[in-house]
Chain A
Amino acid sequence: MSDTNLLEKLKTIVEPYVQNKEAFSTISEETDFINDLKINSANLIDVALDVEDEFDIMIENDDMDKMLTVKSSLEVIEQKLAEK
């Protein structure tokens, strides 16, 4: 799966939980879920669970701790997909 394809899928997953729609319109790898998109920590867990369903992967506690930005989330997803 190409990087842009992954990013598009992640954007679709994240969108329902975004409080700051303006920051979402300019989303990039550097975007921080909590500080930029204003997603609360409880909904961050829903993002992780939706990522699990979409990519058929298992997110562990360590992965969850990392998934705070677009970039680190894509890294976790790519790593999990490579391990499959």
Chain B
Amino acid sequence: MTNGHYGPYGGRFVPEALTAALDELDAAFRSAKEDSAFMQELRALERDYTGRPNPLTYAKRFSEHCGGARVYLKREDLNHTGSHKINNVLGQALLTQRMGKKRMIAETGAGQHGVATATAAALFGLECTVYMGLEDTRRQALNVARMKLLGAEVIPVTAGSQTLKDAINEAMRDWVASVDTTHYVLGTVTGPAPFPEMVRYFHSVIGIEAREQILGIEGRLPDAVVACVGGGSNAMGLFSGFMDDEQVILRGYEAGGDGVETGRHSARFSGGTPGVLHGARTYVMQDQWGQTAPSHSISAGMDYPGVGPEHAWLHDTGRASYEPVTDAEAMEAFAILSKTEGIIPAIETAHGLAGAMRIGKELGPDSVVIVNLSGRGDKDVATAARWFGIDLGSTVTNELSPEMREGR
């Protein structure tokens, strides 16, 4: 099997009890990739269920805010369930069946991965449990309701910071005890091998489509492809299509929160150091003793102290670069895209859009930039309304938790 390393990053740092399951998963993944029946089933699901290929939309009016660069949106928001997350989940759900397991568990931050997993579980008739930090269940109440409607059990995690990292801890604890019957559908390109490689593989369809589409429209490769980076799965999916095109700039945008200088952020490459978290060596926000430091972002899906190990390696080798985008910059981009293109993005995605505005100005008016529109913003309407001071009125307010009404 592969050693699962990207330079010094990646690997497997897990309790021995999980080794057999990871070996089983690795073997199932490798045999499935070579199995034309499996791949045909996956491609058919992508086409008939997810709705792929999704468009590459030229954002004419948004481009005016990007230094005149021609900015294209890869429309993962148009996938069934509203984000890129479904690409990975359908692949892992097919693997769950292939391994003869009956139950899927998942962690979720913004709820998009949880919704996608609950969706696939419903489609395949599998049991589903989703772990979500209590703080995130409040920030993303709409997605909690969606998961429950889809038949999943949602367990709020009260440990630690009550966010994505704690949800991953809890999912791992479940998995150690249930591994005979349960597959852990990890939602991003991190965790122990083979997860980073496997999740990238299932998202590589994003980059493959985008490359073909831009060559068809522009007749040339883009100057840059950009994406938001929480764990980094949507970025890795897009980047993978252009990895070997060395002239194409790959740039990821992390959550700068209140500003990297305030310490309240999730910018691992600006404020983190190499360490081990959740089974992989990567860049981690940690203190001098190796204790995980609190992360912050207005966006639940970006609020994570680690990052995919391949991103760590791309950062060190210089093939990709990473910059922080503050909450305020992301919300500005959120508003601009909504008003210029009629597309309300997820707040995670808005970090990538802010990046497109920045890099477009850097590269100038003749440049071509692709930004991954990784998810739609319906789930974020309440957060955005609070940010922009929009009065939600009594009808809507009644559906919000007391904390939300108080504006917390």
* Chains A and B belong together in one complex: no
Q: Interface on A for B, CB 8 Å cutoff?
A: none
